[in-house]
Amino acid sequence: MLRRILAQHRRQKASSSELPRQEAAQPISLSLSSNLQENLETIKTLLGNSHDLLTRSFFIGNTQHSCAVVCIDGLANSAMVHEQILANIQLMISTAEKTVPDDPEEILSLLFEEVLSVIEIKKESDFQSMLDCVLSGDTALLIDGTNQVIVIDSKGWATRAVEEPAAEGLVRGPRDGFTESIRDNTVRIRRRVKDYHLRFDGSIVGERSKTDLVVAYIDNIVDKELLDEVKRRLATIDIDEVEESGFIEQWIEDDFLSPFPQIHSTERPDKVAASLFQGRIAILLDGTPVVLILPVTFGLFLHSPEDYYERWIVGTLARLLRYIASFLAVFSPSFYIALVTFHPGLIPSDLAFSIAATRDGVPFPAFLEAILMVTTMELLQEAGLRLPKPLGQTVGIVGGLVIGDAAVSAGIVSPVMVIVVALTAIASFAIPSYQLAIAFRMIRFFAMFTAAVFGVYGVILSFIVIMIHLSNLTSIGYPYLSPFAPQMPRDWKDLILRAPITFLRKRPKALHTQDETRMRTGDQS
Partner 1 sequence: MSAQTLAEKLISKNHMGINIASVTIGVGILTFPRTLAKATGAFDGWISIVISGAVAFLIGWLLAKLAARFPRQSFFEYTSLIASKPVGYVLTILICIYTMLFVSFEVRAIGTIAKQYLFYNTPVEMITLSFLLVVQYAVAGSRVALLRLNLLFMPVVLYVIVVVLVFAQPLVEIENVRPYFSSSWKALLQGSKDVGLSYSGFEIILFYTMLMKRPEEAGKSVFLGLLIPVVLYMTIYVFVIAVFSAEVAKNLTFPTIELAKEVEVPGGFFERVESIFFTIWIMTIFNTSAMWLDITVLNLTSMFKKVGKMVWILILSPIIYFIAMLPQNLIDFFSFGDKLTYFGLIIVYLIPICLLIIAFFRGVKGNG
Q: Which residues pair with 357 in a beta bridge?
A: none
Does 519 interact with partner 1 (rule: CB under 8 A)?
Answer: no
Report 199-238 residues binding partner 1 (CB under 8 A): 223, 225
Stretch that binds partner 1, among 131-139, 148-156, 337-345, 407-415 (CB under 8 A): 337-345
Q: Residue 297's Cα: distance from chain center in Å?
A: 17
Least distance between partner 1 and beta carbon 321 (Å):
19
Q: Which is nearer to partner 1, 289 or 295 (CB)?
A: 295
Least distance between partner 1 and beta carbon 455 (Å):
7
Does 423 interact with partner 1 (rule: CB under 8 A)?
Answer: no
Least distance between partner 1 and beta carbon 464 (Å):
6
Measured distance CA(395)–CA(375) in Å, rounded = 15
Question: What is the SS3 assignment for 257?
Answer: coil
Measured distance CA(252)–CA(236) in Å, rounded = 9
Alpha carbon of 504 to those of 15, 277, 329, 492, 520: distances in Å? 49, 13, 30, 10, 11
Does 324 interact with partner 1 (rule: CB under 8 A)?
Answer: no
CB 113 within 8 A of CB 101: no
Per CB under 8 A, the list member of 6, 227, 314, 481 interacting with partner 1 is: 481
Does 460 interact with partner 1 (rule: CB under 8 A)?
Answer: yes
Stretch that binds partner 1, among 15-23, 272-280, 322-330, 459-467 (CB under 8 A): 459-467
CB 116 within 8 A of CB 67: no
CB 272 within 8 A of CB 283: no
Does 485 interact with partner 1 (rule: CB under 8 A)?
Answer: yes
Cβ-based neighbour number of residue 398 at 10 Å = 12
Q: Which residues pair with 203 in a beta bridge?
A: 213
Per CB under 8 A, the list member of 190, 343, 493, 509 interacting with partner 1 is: 343
* Secondary structure E strands in 371-443: none
Per CB under 8 A, the list member of 47, 234, 422, 465 interacting with partner 1 is: 465
Q: Which is nearer to partner 1, 259 or 399 (CB)?
A: 259
Measured distance CA(382)–CA(371) in Å, rounded = 16
Q: Which is nearer to partner 1, 366 or 377 (CB)?
A: 366
480 phi/psi in degrees, rounded to 5: -70, -30
Does 1 interact with partner 1 (rule: CB under 8 A)?
Answer: yes
Helix, strand, coil percentages, rounded to 5, for the chain = 50, 15, 35
Binding residues for partner 1, how many (CB under 8 A)? 34
Q: Which is nearer to partner 1, 178 or 342 (CB)?
A: 342
Does 464 interact with partner 1 (rule: CB under 8 A)?
Answer: yes
Measured distance CA(19)–CA(4) in Å, rounded = 24
Q: Which is nearer to partner 1, 346 or 442 (CB)?
A: 346
Residues that bind partner 1 (CB under 8 A): 1, 223, 225, 342-343, 345-349, 352, 453-461, 464-465, 467-468, 471-472, 477, 479, 481, 484-487, 512
